Copies of this chain bind each other. A is one copy, B any other.
Amino acid sequence: MLLFCRRDQTPADRDALLTAARAAGFHPQPMGDRIIGLFGAGRVDELSGLAGVERIAESDGTPLLATLNGHEPTIVPVGAARVGEGFTVIAGPCAVEDRQRVLDLAHRVKDAGATILRGGAFKPRTSPYSFRGLGRTGLEYLRAAGDATGLPVVTEVMDTRDVPLVAEHADMLQIGSRNMMNYSLLVEAGRAGRPVFLKRGMSATLDELLHAAEYLLLEGVPGVVLCERGIRTFSTEMRNTLDVSVVPLLRERTHLPLIVDPSHATGSSRFVPAMARAAAAAGAIGIMVEVHDDPGVALSDGPQALHPDTLRDLIRQLREISAIVNRTPAPPAT
């Protein structure tokens, strides 16, 4: 059971409720500011009339997410950008490597038409012997590049202890695929006052993805952007199998904006444009792509990075496709 507290509940009310819940035979568990989970076989009737109680109900799916589904898709402000309005292009290097390179790349992706800058300072790597990112220094370089170009920045956070630091430097926090079910991190990121870019886990169902978003909403996150980046299937031709079908599926189930990342899905820049176009044609509101001006020397994931010139041509195609998809339906043929 979930006990929903009134908005005007006082801290004293809350403490009294927790005590009462224990006395009624429950294990009470606070969830966000206004919900107390009641676990075990307790007596509900001892609680329902107490001060600060709005209602007690069975837990049911993702109630906070449901409240976002209105007449219009949700727009998520990220710095000066508005994700969900027009076609969003998040671009930049896989990893921030040095101050000058990220600054140059920021200018080039902006010129190519990107609207948000990405770049990894904390990098999750399968092998402990791979480059794990510049950390705090990387955050500083990324912030500087964002400020110089006017592009808002998004970067990954991997450790609950780093959330405040990353939130200080970035306009949006990224939760990577490997951490989509790192619930401690979701809770902490949800409290940081920044929108969160939430990547689907490699074998996560949509239900699991939406519940991860609910974790964030429960902590008061100001916005969530979902991201499909490929799933793990029997097919090993590309790094992952981009699941384009989530685009129309999620549109039915949530109003949160959905971005597609064809770089990680394919693992190869040769395939990025085709898959980016597929995403736009299916109705995705934007893409995240990795870009490098000299992929051969990139410290991480060079083979999947687009050259900035390719990005420019691609963005032009994507905006044309997106216009066809989103255009007001033609009047009936006569």
The chain A residues found within 8 Å of chain B, CB to CB, are: 2, 27, 29, 31-32, 35, 37, 39-41, 59, 62, 97, 124-132, 134, 158-162, 178-179, 181-185, 202-203, 205-208, 211, 214-215, 218, 231-238, 241-249, 252, 265-266, 270-271, 274-275, 277-283, 297, 299, 309, 312-313, 316-317, 320-321, 324-325, 329-330, 332-333
Which of B202, B214, B277 has a CB less than 8 Å from the CB of A281?
B277
Alpha-carbon distance A185/B160, docked complex (angstroms): 10
Alpha-carbon distance A188/B274, docked complex (angstroms): 36
Minimum Cβ distance to chain B for residue A33 (Å): 13
Which of B161, B179, B203, B238 has a CB less than 8 Å from the CB of A202?
B203
- Find chain B residues with CB under 8 A from A242 CB: 244-245
Which of B132, B241, B329 has a CB less than 8 Å from the CB of A313?
B329
With contacts A203-B203, A242-B245, A330-B313 taken as known, whether A281 is within 8 angstroms of B128 at the C-beta atoms is no
Q: Are A238 and B234 in contact (CB under 8 A)?
A: no
Q: Are A325 and B317 in contact (CB under 8 A)?
A: yes
Minimum Cβ distance to chain B for residue A231 (Å): 6
Which of B27, B128, B178, B205 has a CB less than 8 Å from the CB of A131?
B27
Q: Are A128 and B248 in contact (CB under 8 A)?
A: no
Q: A233-B234, A278-B282 are in contact. List 17 more A-B contacts (CB 8 A).
A: A37-B129, A59-B127, A126-B181, A158-B182, A182-B185, A205-B235, A232-B232, A232-B234, A233-B233, A237-B246, A242-B244, A244-B275, A245-B266, A245-B275, A252-B270, A309-B333, A317-B324
Alpha-carbon distance A269/B129, docked complex (angstroms): 34
Q: Are A131 and B248 in contact (CB under 8 A)?
A: no
Alpha-carbon distance A279/B278, docked complex (angstroms): 6
Q: Are A236 and B236 in contact (CB under 8 A)?
A: yes
- Find chain B residues with CB under 8 A from A206 CB: 235, 237
Q: Are B158 and A184 in contact (CB under 8 A)?
A: yes
- Find chain B residues with CB under 8 A from A243 CB: 233, 235, 241
Q: Are B231 and A127 in contact (CB under 8 A)?
A: no
Alpha-carbon distance A241/B181, docked complex (angstroms): 19
- Find chain B residues with CB under 8 A from A317 CB: 324-325
- Find chain B residues with CB under 8 A from A299 CB: 27, 39-40
Residue of B whose beta carbon sits closest to that of A182: B182
- Find chain B residues with CB under 8 A from A316 CB: 330
Q: Are B244 and A235 in contact (CB under 8 A)?
A: no
Give 20 CB contacts A-B under 8 Å.
A2-B129, A31-B128, A37-B131, A128-B211, A178-B182, A231-B234, A233-B234, A238-B249, A241-B241, A242-B244, A244-B244, A244-B275, A274-B281, A277-B281, A277-B282, A278-B278, A281-B281, A281-B282, A309-B333, A321-B321
With contacts A182-B158, A211-B128, A320-B324 taken as known, whether A249 is within 8 angstroms of B236 at the C-beta atoms is no
- Find chain B residues with CB under 8 A from A126 CB: 181, 207-208, 211
Q: Are B248 and A274 in contact (CB under 8 A)?
A: yes
Alpha-carbon distance A161/B280, docked complex (angstroms): 40
- Find chain B residues with CB under 8 A from A297 CB: 40-41
